[in-house]
Amino acid sequence: MDFFHAHQAQHYLVLGAILFALGAAGVVLRRNAIIILMSIELMLNAVNLTFLAFSRFPLVASSPTGSFLSGHAAVFFVIATASAEAAVGLAIIIAVFRSRTSLNVDEFDTLKL
Amino acid sequence: MEVAWLHLLPLLPLIGAAVCGLVGKWLPKGWVYAVALGSVLLSFLVGLRAFAGLGEGVQLFHQVAFNWFSAGPLRVDMAFTLDRLSGALTLVVTGVGFLIHVYSVGYMDEDPGYWRYFAYLNLFIAAMMTLILGDNLVAMFVGWEGVGLCSYLLIGFWFTDEEKAYAGRKAFIVNRIGDFGFLIGIFILFRQTGTVNIAQVNGAALPLGVASLAALCLFTGAVGKSAQIPLYVWLPDAMAGPTPVSALIHAATMVTAGVYMVARLSPLYVSAPGVLALVATIGALTALVAGLIATSQNDIKKVLAYSTVSQLGYMFIGVGVGAFFAGTQHLVTHAFFKACLFLCAGAVMHGLHGEQDLQRMGGLRKYMPSTHATFLIATIAITGILPISGFFSKDEILAQALHTRAFNFLTLTPASGIHLTFLGPAIYLVGSFTAFLTSFYMWRCYFLAFSGEYRGPESVHPHESPPVMTLPLWILAALSVLGLVLALPPSWVHGTALERWNWEHFTEGVFARPRGGSPEEFSALPGFGIALLVGWAGWAASYALYFKRGLAGDEVLTARAGAVRRALANKLYVDEFYGRVVVRPLWGLARGLWRIVDATIIDGLFVNGIPALIAWVGALARRFQNGDVQRYAAVTALGVAALLYVFLVRGG
Q: Which residue has the higher pLDDT, B434 or B388?
A: B434
The predicted structure's pLDDT at residue B460: 84
Write the DSSP string, B135-173: SBHHHHHHHHHHHHHHHHHHHTSSTTSHHHHHHHHHHHH
Q: Name the β-bridge partners of B78.
A: B66
Range name among A6-10, B120-124, B205-209 with the lowest pLDDT average = A6-10
- Mean pLDDT score across all residues of chain B: 90
> Over 60: is that where the pLDDT of B413 sits?
no
Enter the ipTM: 0.80
How confident is the model over B439-463, as pLDDT tens digits? 999 999 999 999 888 888 888 888 8
Please tell me the distance in Å from B624's CA to the nearest CA on chain A: 9
How confident is the model over B355-368, as pLDDT tens digits? 899 888 888 898 99
pLDDT-based confidence at residue B411 (cuts at 50, 70, 90):
low
Q: Which of A24, A105, A113 sits opposite B629 (nearest CB)?
A: A105
Please tell me the distance in Å from A25's CA to the nearest CA on chain B: 8
The answer to whether A105 contacts B628, with C-beta atoms less than 8 Å apart, is yes
Q: What is the mean pLDDT of residues B195-214?
A: 90
pLDDT-based confidence at residue B632 (cuts at 50, 70, 90):
confident
Ramachandran region, residue A80 (left: φ > 0; alpha: ψ -120 to 50; beta: rest): alpha
Share of chain B above pLDDT 90, in %: 62
Candidates A36, A110, A112, A113: best to mutate against B (most CBs of B within 10 A) is: A112
The predicted structure's pLDDT at residue B439: 95
> Over 60: is that where the pLDDT of A1 sits?
no
A104 at the B interface (CB within 8 A)? Answer: no
pLDDT-based confidence at residue A112 (cuts at 50, 70, 90):
low
Q: What's B414's DSSP letter? A: S
The predicted structure's pLDDT at residue B334: 94
> Of B397, B400, B403, B404, which is closest to residue B438 (Cα–Cα)?
B397
Share of chain B above pLDDT 70, in %: 98
How confident is the model over A60-99, as pLDDT tens digits? 878 777 788 888 999 999 999 999 999 999 999 999 899 8
| Whole-Å CA distances, B611 to A112, B605, B608, B615, B617 | 22, 10, 6, 6, 10
Number of residue pairs across A and B with CB atoms under 8 Å? 27
| Whole-Å CA distances, B598 to B240, B247, B402, B601, B605 | 35, 43, 56, 6, 10
> Over 60: is that where the pLDDT of B69 sits?
yes
Which residues have CB under 8 Å from B211's CB, separation 6+? B268, B271, B272
> Over 90: is that where the pLDDT of B302 sits?
yes
Which positions in chain B touch A27 (Cβ < 8 Å)? 630, 633
Q: What is the mean pLDDT of residues A12-37?
A: 92
> Over 80: is that where the pLDDT of B227 sits?
yes
Chain B nearest-CA residue for A29: B630
The predicted structure's pLDDT at residue B417: 62
> Over 80: is that where the pLDDT of A5 sits?
no
Please tell me the distance in Å from B636's CA to the nearest CA on chain A: 10
CB-based contacts of B501-506 (< 8 A; 24+ apart in sequence): B503/B325, B503/B328, B503/B329, B503/B332, B504/B325, B504/B326, B504/B329, B504/B396, B506/B84, B506/B88
The predicted structure's pLDDT at residue A18: 95
Range name among B37-46, B277-286, B507-516, B598-607 with the lowest pLDDT average = B507-516
> Over 90: is that where the pLDDT of B571 sits?
no
Chain B nearest-CA residue for A110: B627
The predicted structure's pLDDT at residue A56: 87
A29 at the B interface (CB within 8 A)? Answer: yes
Q: What is the mean pLDDT of residues B28-34?
A: 93
A36 at the B interface (CB within 8 A)? Answer: yes
Chain A nearest-CA residue for B624: A112
Amino acid letter at B246?
S
Amino acid letter at B10?
P
The predicted structure's pLDDT at residue B157: 93
Q: What is the mean pLDDT of residues B588-615?
A: 91
The answer to whether A112 contacts B637, with C-beta atoms less than 8 Å apart, is no
Helix or strand holding residue B70 (H, E): strand B61-71
How confident is the model over B326-342, as pLDDT tens digits? 999 999 999 999 999 99
pLDDT-based confidence at residue B628 (cuts at 50, 70, 90):
confident
How confident is the model over A41-57, as pLDDT tens digits? 999 999 999 999 988 88
